[in-house]
Chains A and B, each alone.
Chain A
């Protein structure tokens, strides 16, 4: 069977896309390997300093600056969940007392971490990509290598761990805010059937596993965001325009990666009944 010109063009483009995808994932995996290697070296070898201060600085930048937005967004998510679930639960089964159970389950397992990840992507991911990209354009990375400083160790390691930690800490905050948002809604709108015993019911519904699976996901989302942001930043070429593209792609790829990862996790947790 012979292929038409158009078919071949289409196939070639698909092939190139797939190859490009593999190269991207491969490059990121290498960077992850490097990051972990430098971290271990930093922990065991007195000659490699990790720069705890750099990590702390990044943590402030990634975490503290996004804290307000995370709180705000997650409170609203709590409000939305509570309001949206009430009608179908109330009529005709009068099950609206289950609202805290559902909010707890959905919030702690998924919505807390995933929406925090989206906020961090916009806040920290984009700014990390822009910052590192700007450094590439200004020849700073080359200068760094020329004085025998490894850019992965100096730039990626602190941002990686800061994003990782920030994601986990903010997810705890996020979980609580979603729950609180639901509670406030119950108090103001939904009435005593919902708000009386709200916290006890939520606690009874949740076990440690709900909490930890959420945090594991948060850690993975953080890893994805920082790796994509650093990778996009480091591969910037050609001026300010390249930096702009890197920030955009960071946000796009991070969100796609986060949602794919969330889906994979959900399937795995479902299959293994976690």
Chain B
């Protein structure tokens, strides 16, 4: 499949490009003019407060929902201009781990991983069996091959979802909070696996995560979303510098710093407290009964 990539990608061209993307829900712009790029063999970590639109952004990168404005390019092709057949070809070249794992609950863990192989490869049954076990071994789940999703824990579901995402040896992997709900050791192992995939196989990764240790371990580049915009995008070292610096009084800097350090005081907290909630509540009540 790499020759495929070469067909549509010039040297140095990003595998994913998000251009001026706007997404509204019920008139409210959840994402408001997002631009970013991911290159081959690179890991981009997306950060931001809960509900700021990280999963929504990911969903648009995988063509599951469509932006209201702007577009997403993958392998140099604008997703919005492709027909179903072309989209399916692209889909076979990336894998995604959903926030919930999203296993098919009516199939065993093994069948979940086998499904993309059965549908999209010409491998025979035995080879598929072997491949499935290999992928499950990578995420430490070989013993769970015959279990149903309802019989495994949340963290195991996530790992099984990762094995399924890797089934077709994708060129891009998307992860929505891969280490949430995993114990520290498993989480570190998954991080290692993600790094191996990018470094050894040249996979490009887009990772949404709240775990800062993990983020700094795996990231090449990072972006921080806030209020529907990219607050800052840069190399990992830039974010490390902000984390380790002291507060400067400059809002953006301090906001990122608070987020990265997980401090309970800082611009994020002050912003939340400054909106006068008593007035809000009274207004809401007045609106309801007037």
Q: Which residues of A contact B (CB under 8 A)?
A: 49, 134-135, 138-140, 142-149
Other than the known A138-B100, A143-B102, what 8 A-B pairs have Cβ atoms closer than 8 Å?
A143-B104, A146-B62, A147-B92, A147-B115, A147-B119, A148-B89, A148-B92, A148-B120
Question: With A142-B59, A142-B64, A143-B96 as given contacts, are A149 and B102 in contact (CB-CB < 8 Å)?
Answer: no
Q: Which residues of B contact A (CB under 8 A)?
A: 59, 62, 64, 87-89, 91-92, 94-96, 98-100, 102-105, 115-116, 119-120, 161, 164, 167-168
24 contacts between A and B (CB under 8 A): A49-B119, A138-B100, A138-B102, A138-B105, A139-B98, A140-B103, A140-B105, A142-B64, A142-B98, A142-B102, A143-B96, A143-B98, A143-B103, A143-B164, A146-B62, A146-B96, A147-B91, A147-B92, A147-B115, A147-B116, A147-B119, A147-B120, A148-B89, A148-B116
Smallest CB gap from A144: residue in B: B104
A49 to B118, CA, bound (A): 10
Give chain A residues whose Cβ lies under 8 Å from the Cβ of B115.
Answer: 147, 149
Interface residue from B59, B105, B120 paired with A135 (Cβ < 8 Å): B105
Interface residue from A140, A142, A149 paired with B119 (Cβ < 8 Å): A149
A111 to B98, CA, bound (A): 48
Number of A-B pairs, beta carbon distance below 8 Å: 56
Q: Is the CB of A140 within 8 A of B104?
A: yes
Distance from B14 Cβ to chain A, minimum over Cβ atoms (Å)? 20
Give chain B residues whose Cβ lies under 8 Å from the Cβ of A149.
Answer: 115-116, 119
Closest 5 CB pairs of A and B: A148-B91, A139-B102, A143-B102, A148-B88, A147-B116
Give chain A residues whose Cβ lies under 8 Å from the Cβ of B99.
Answer: 139
A177 to B116, CA, bound (A): 45
Distance from A16 Cβ to chain B, minimum over Cβ atoms (Å)? 17
Give chain B residues whose Cβ lies under 8 Å from the Cβ of A144.
Answer: 104
A135 to B95, CA, bound (A): 19
Give chain A residues whose Cβ lies under 8 Å from the Cβ of B94.
Answer: 146
Smallest CB gap from A142: residue in B: B64
Question: With A135-B105, A138-B105, A140-B105 as given contacts, are A146 and B100 in contact (CB-CB < 8 Å)?
Answer: no
Interface residue from B89, B100, B105, B164 paired with A147 (Cβ < 8 Å): B164
A134 to B105, CA, bound (A): 10
A147 to B167, CA, bound (A): 10
Give chain B residues whose Cβ lies under 8 Å from the Cβ of A135.
Answer: 104-105
A100 to B167, CA, bound (A): 62
Give chain A residues whose Cβ lies under 8 Å from the Cβ of B105.
Answer: 134-135, 138, 140
Q: Is the CB of B104 within 8 A of A146?
A: no
Give chain A residues whose Cβ lies under 8 Å from the Cβ of B59.
Answer: 142
Q: Is the CB of A146 within 8 A of B120?
A: no
Give chain B residues whose Cβ lies under 8 Å from the Cβ of A134.
Answer: 105
Distance from A69 Cβ to chain B, minimum over Cβ atoms (Å)? 24
